[in-house]
Each structure stands twice: as C-alpha cells, then as structure tokens.
C-alpha cells in the first residue's frame, strides 16, 4: 500500500484523526488569519470603488466567497454522506454532520450580505428571482439536515438519514449555479468562471484571497467540530 492510501486509511481511525487534527489546527488557523487580513486589507483599502456601484462593491469580498463556500460545503457534505452510506466510516459521518452548521452559516452570510448589497445596487433587499430563491432553499436544506440528524438518538442511524437528505438536495446546486443563465434574473452572471474573469486585478486578487481564506476557515472549524463530536459520541457510549 502506498503512503497516500495508508494516510487515507489512518484518517479513518478516530484516535489517529484526533491527534493529527490537533497538530494541524494551529497552522490552519494561522493561515486563515494571515489570508483574511491580507484579503481584507487589499479589498477595503487598496482596491478602487466600482464606477457604477461605488463603495458598495466592497461587500463583494464577503458575499461572493460566502456564496461559493455555501455550495462547496454542501457538495462536500453530500460526498461525505455518500461515503458514509456506502462504506460506514464513522469519521466521515461525523465530518458530514459537522459541515452542516458551517455551510448554513456561510449560506446565511451570503443571503444577508447579498441583501445588504442589493439595497443600494438594485433598490431592494430581496426579490424572488432564481438565484436568491435557490440559495434560500439551500439554507433550508442545511437546516433540514441538522434537524433530521438531531431527531435520532442513535448516531449511525442519524447520519444515514441526514446523508440521504443531503444527497437528494444536491440537485439544488446546479440550479443555483446555472440559475443566472437559465432564467431572466436580477442577479448578475458569475464573476469568476473557468474561462477567466472580467474583473479588474485590483478587485480580483482580494476576491481570490478571500475565497482561499474562507476555505481555510472551513477546514479549521470542521476539524474543531469533528474533534468535539468524536469525544461527545464516545462519552455517550460509556
């Protein structure tokens, strides 16, 4: 077995995972802190205001990375749920349910900051257009996964039920992503695409740095929540 596969197998062991994550956490928090400070400094002080939107464009450095993370975390949560259903790996089940509140937080943040950005830009806090509505459905899906897991006493059964709901909800992700192309929406088309971006570099760099910073934030909070849940589940068994 090569080193990578050995590492993957080791992470399935709760004691090994607990020790490894404990050593990794300070570094992940430090990288998040450094990236967030750098990204916010560039976004708030070094980038120019938009010629149409003015200063309100600075909300983009919170809103866009949060929206991106809301979808990425759901996809990861569904993938972990699938792995937990097919190969009942306890760590994967715990990481799946630990991801849900973090994803819900980013979704709520995307909705709140989007609403605050919409008021000065579109003249309204909310419209029932495809992008906003599908993002709201995503928040309900996250809350549904958390609620369904909490409804069961037995953790393995809870994880299976939550994983099934998460997998069903995956259909919402392409709806959110393609909503601005499929329907006539108030929300603008994507700023970042695989083919590149039309955003000025002075705005693009802080945006990309904040996206990476949010990813490290997710890793750090996920590891913290997973560690606590591991102890909680083991304590209940005794």
Partner 1 sequence: MDHGPFILASYSIAAVLLTWCALAPLFSGRHLKRTILNRLKQMENDNASNP
Please report how close the Cβ of residue 9 comes to partner 1 at its closest, in angstroms.
Answer: 26
Q: Is 11 in the site for partner 1 (CB under 8 A)?
A: no
Measured CA to CA, the distance from residue 120 to residue 115 in angstroms comes to: 9
Contacts of residue 149, defined as CB under 8 A and 6 or more positions apart, other chains included, come to 97, 100, 158, 159, 161, 162
Q: Which of residues 66-105 bind partner 1 (CB under 8 A)?
A: 66, 101-102, 105
Among 35, 62, 77, 141, binds partner 1 (CB under 8 A): 62
Of these, 96, 162, 166, 220, which contacts partner 1 (CB under 8 A)?
A: 220
| CB-nearer residue toward partner 1: 44 or 151 | 44
Decide: helix, strand or coil at residue 193. Answer: strand
Q: Tell me if 227 contacts partner 1 by CB under 8 A.
A: yes
Distance of CA 33 to the CA centre of its chain: 17
Whichever of 120 and 189 has its CB closer to partner 1, that residue is 120
3-state secondary structure at position 196: strand
Nearer to partner 1 among residue 169 and residue 217 (C-beta): 217
Convert residues 12-51 into a mask of x (bound to partner 1 by CB under 8 A) and - (unbound). Answer: ----------------------------------------
Residues written for the chain: 238
Beta-bridge partners for 50:
54
Q: With binding defined as CB under 8 A, does residue 232 bind partner 1?
A: yes
Distance set, CA 94 to CA 29, 101, 137, 142 (Å): 21, 12, 24, 15
Residue 102 or 166 having the CB closest to partner 1: 102
| 155, 161 contact by CB (below 8 A) | no
Q: How many CA atoms lie within 13 A of 73 on its CB side?
A: 33
Taking residues 102 to 141 in sequence order and writing x for each that binds partner 1 by CB under 8 A, - otherwise, the string is: x--x--xx--xx--xx-xx---------------------
Measured from the CB atom, the residue of 59 and 211 that comes closer to partner 1 is 59
**Closest distance of CB 127 from partner 1, Å:** 17
Q: d(Cα 192, Cα 199) in Å, to the nearest integer?
A: 8
| Of 9, 18, 8, 10, residue with least CA distance to 233 | 18
Does 142 sit near partner 1 (CB under 8 A)?
A: no
List residues near partner 1 by CB under 8 A. 54-56, 58-59, 62-63, 66, 101-102, 105, 108-109, 112-113, 116-117, 119-120, 217, 220-221, 224-225, 227-228, 231-232, 235
């Amino acid at each position: 077995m090569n080193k990578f596969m050995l590492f993957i197998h080791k992470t399935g062991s709760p004691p090994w995972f607990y020790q490894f994550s404990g050593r990794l956490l300070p570094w992940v928090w430090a990288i998040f802190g450094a990236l967030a400070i750098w990204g916010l400094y560039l976004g708030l002080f070094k980038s120019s205001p938009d010629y149409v939107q003015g200063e309100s464009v600075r909300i983009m450095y919170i809103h866009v990375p949060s929206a991106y993370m809301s979808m990425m975390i759901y996809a990861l949560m569904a993938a972990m749920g699938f792995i937990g259903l097919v190969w009942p790996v306890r760590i994967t089940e715990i990481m799946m349910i630990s991801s849900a509140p973090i994803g819900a937080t980013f979704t709520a943040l995307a909705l709140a900051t989007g609403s605050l950005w919409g008021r000065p830009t579109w003249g309204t806090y909310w419209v029932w257009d495809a992008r906003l509505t599908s993002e709201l459905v995503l928040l309900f899906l996250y809350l549904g996964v958390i609620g369904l897991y909490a409804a069961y006493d037995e953790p393995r059964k809870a994880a299976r039920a939550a994983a099934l709901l998460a997998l069903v909800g995956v259909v919402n992700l392409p709806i959110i992503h393609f909503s601005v192309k499929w329907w006539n929406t108030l929300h603008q088309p994507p700023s970042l695409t695989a083919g590149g971006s039309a955003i000025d570099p002075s705005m693009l760099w802080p945006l990309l740095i904040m996206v990476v910073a949010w990813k490290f934030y997710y890793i750090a909070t996920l590891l913290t929540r997973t560690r606590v849940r591991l102890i909680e589940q083991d304590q209940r068994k005794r």
